Amino acid sequence: MENRIAQALARLFEKHRIVFWYDAKNELRADYDAVSLDGVQKIEIANNEFGIKHRILREQPDERFLLYRDGPQPEDLDNWLLDVQLAQGEFRTDQVAIWLSELDLGLEFTDVVQQHLEFFHAAKRTEALKKLLKPDDTAGLIRLKMVAVCAGAEPRMDSILESLLQDVAEDADDKFSLVTRCALDGFFWTQLTRHYGYASSEPSIRDFVIELFKSCYAMSTNGPVKLNADALVFLRRWKDSRVHERSFEKLSDECAGVLGIEADLGKRDVRDLIAVDYFELIDRKILSDLVQAVVERTVSAGDVALWVRQRRQGHWYADYRDLYQAIEYAAGFIQLLGAANLEMNSLADGVQRYCASWYQLDQRYRKFIYHLRQAGQSSLLGALAEQIENLYSTAYLLKVNDRWQAYVDAVSTWSIPRLQLQRRFFTRWLQPFLSKGVKVCVVISDALRYEIGEELLTLIRQEDRYSADLEPTLSMLPSYTQLGMAALLPNRELTISANDAAAVLVDGLSAQGTANRDKILKKALDGAGAAVTAEQVMAMNRDDSRDLLKSNNVVYIYHNRIDHT
């Protein structure tokens, strides 16, 4: 007690030169006698008021004084030191006064402390409150900060609510029980009404969260609403919070069951739900309806793409990304195939048409299959996947292959005007760089089809530091990996061996495997060529990769990720 009195007095002397201490119950004489403050003179008031006034105001006007009276404060008419007291400070020794002093709060906040005594019984809470207080705080702001301390939150209603809702999601009630014990629950419900319009004869945090989801869903679906627009602002903030997203998801799921959301969604058109993002069931409803609409051709690819783009901002989009994208690519494939003219007048015309637009069919099909596998939702996408496979095989591949094969059968020489042969790769694209003394790295990726090259081209062009072009070549016949790989090497003669492996010889040397291709490059480039695998390059440190480029004018890097996948 003695130490707390000394601390409280020291704080008062930081603001006042003279402090009055009235011992109304005549029980603190010993504490007065024991207290000692540097630079403060103690005087007891005992029928010596005029002498005291002359001393403290005339004789020692710059000194600090503690004036103690063993008894209550006199009535104002009998208090000859009242004018001094009103201009200076008063030390009160009851517990409420001590708390006020510790918090640097004036006597006008006595009711705030008296009405919430339980809060101040814990020094930890009092200290936490002190850190939040500001000189211009009102009684309402002080109570709000007390609620924030109880909830372990920032002194804002949205932060307090997020913390209390996390308790509810975890089936706990510790935080709001403390709010209630501190007699702050009435203040809290008043603030909840003022901020969000919540009112109930039997208010509870769980009842509020049910009404929150109900009203916000109703705002988006033209239903009856009890809460105000700020409730929707809060729900969106809570939903997007990284810290509280799990509590949002759990309570969203619980409220969906309480409110019968699944049954209600069954009555609604998908177009009315695209902007609604309060329940995971909404994503499932949208996905199911989109699959059906794409299968039945009742929605355009443009609308599907637009809706998927809008859903990307949704809370559960990451969980359903592959499903959304699979549907989007399926819709795009169907629409593109329906608009495509798959006729060709010649081999050259077929190549031109493929490079202009047909490649997009392969691209969309590939992406659909990829996202289908990633999603792992065969039941939801089953009908759509079956339709896409049938369209791709019969309406696209079969038609194009039949027309292409007819023109292939009709030619006597395997060539197409203005289209480079694959075997001239080194001469056509690498030799011009080497003639200028420019080193070249060639990445050869097995199964890198034209449509994948087009996507890679787009990605490279998005990088400011690089430029890129895409040009088709005419593959070797028969078109199998060993011959294609050999054709990309510097060569004068390509020979297919008669063994079972159908190995290919480049100018008499086997081109099977990276080691043999390395030998062919070194022979053609007088030792200044190398062939390595992508795995070897990725395992190199900076010095190793620099040495590789320093020692060679041409480096072939073989990559097998696409074909392996």
pLDDT of residue 88: 84
State how far the alpha carbon of 474 is from the alpha carbons of 203, 380, 411, 454, 479, in Å: 76, 40, 14, 16, 10
- For 487, the 3-state DSSP assignment is helix
Check residue 22 and give its pLDDT: 87
What pLDDT shows up at residue 37?
92
Whole-number pLDDT of residue 366: 96
Is the CB of residue 337 less than 8 Å from the CB of residue 331? no
Q: What angle do CA 241, 246, 247 make, to 5 degrees?
A: 90
Measured in degrees and rounded to the nearest 5, phi and psi for residue 555 equal -125, 120
Who has greater pLDDT, 467 or 157? Answer: 157
More confident: 504 or 25? 504
Q: With H, G, I as helix, E, B as strand and everything else as coil, classify residue 216.
A: helix
Q: How far is CA 540 from the centre of its chain?
A: 34
Helix (H) or strand (E) holding 481: helix 481-487
Contact between 188 and 175 (Cβ < 8 Å): no
Q: Residue 359: pLDDT band by 50, 70, 90 thresholds?
A: very high
Per-residue model confidence (pLDDT) at position 447: 84
Contacts of 288 (CB under 8 A, 6+ apart): 380
Q: How far is CA 99 from CA 66, 89, 114, 403, in A?
A: 20, 16, 10, 92
Residues 33-42: pLDDT tens digits?
A: 889 999 999 9
Please give the full DSSP string across 94-131, using - where no structure is assigned: SHHHHHHHHTT--GGGHHHHHHTHHHHTSHHHHHHHHH
Number of other residues whose CB lies within 10 A of the CB of residue 225: 17
- Say if residue 102's pLDDT is above 90: no
For 503-543, the pLDDT digits (tens) are 899 999 999 999 999 999 999 999 999 999 999 999 999 99
**Average pLDDT over all residues of the chain:** 94
Cα 178 to Cα 170: distance, rounded to the nearest angstrom: 16
Place of tokens 């000394």: 6
For every residue of 223-241, DSSP letters joined together read ----S-HHHHHHHHHHHT-
Residue 94 has pLDDT above 70, yes or no: no
pTM of the model: 0.81
Percentage above 70 pLDDT, the chain: 98
* Region 134-163 average pLDDT: 97
pLDDT tens column, 127-146: 999 999 999 999 999 999 99
Quote the pLDDT of residue 26: 81
**Any idea which of 17-21, 92-96, 153-157, 534-538 has the lowest mean pLDDT?**
92-96
Q: Please write the tens of the pLDDT for every residue from 287-343.
A: 999 999 999 999 999 999 999 999 999 999 999 999 999 999 999 999 999 999 999
Point out the least confidently predicted range of 68-82, 283-297, 388-402. 68-82
Q: Over 362-413, what HEC string results?
A: HHHHHHHHHHHHHHCCHHHHHHHHHHHHHHHHHHHHHHHHHHHHHHHHHCCC
Model confidence band, residue 5 (pLDDT cutoffs 50, 70, 90): confident
Amino acid 1: pLDDT: 53
Residue 121 reports pLDDT greater than 70 = yes
Return the pLDDT at 93. Answer: 64
* Encoded tokens for 433: 């760089």
Share of the chain above pLDDT 90, in %: 83
The band of 97, judged by pLDDT with boundaries at 50, 70 and 90, is confident
Spacing of C-alpha 369 from chain mean position: 27
Tell me, what's the pLDDT at 273? Answer: 97
Q: What is the pLDDT, as a whole number, of residue 99?
A: 86
pLDDT of 92 strictly over 80: no
> What residues are paired with 455 via a beta bridge?
none
Instruction: Name which of 104-113, 147-156, 335-344, 394-403 the model is least confident about.
Output: 104-113
Q: What is the mean pLDDT of residues 110-123?
A: 93
Judge if the upstream peptide bond of residue 478 is cis by omega within 30 degrees of 0. yes
C-alpha closest to that of 314 among 239, 369, 375, 417: 239
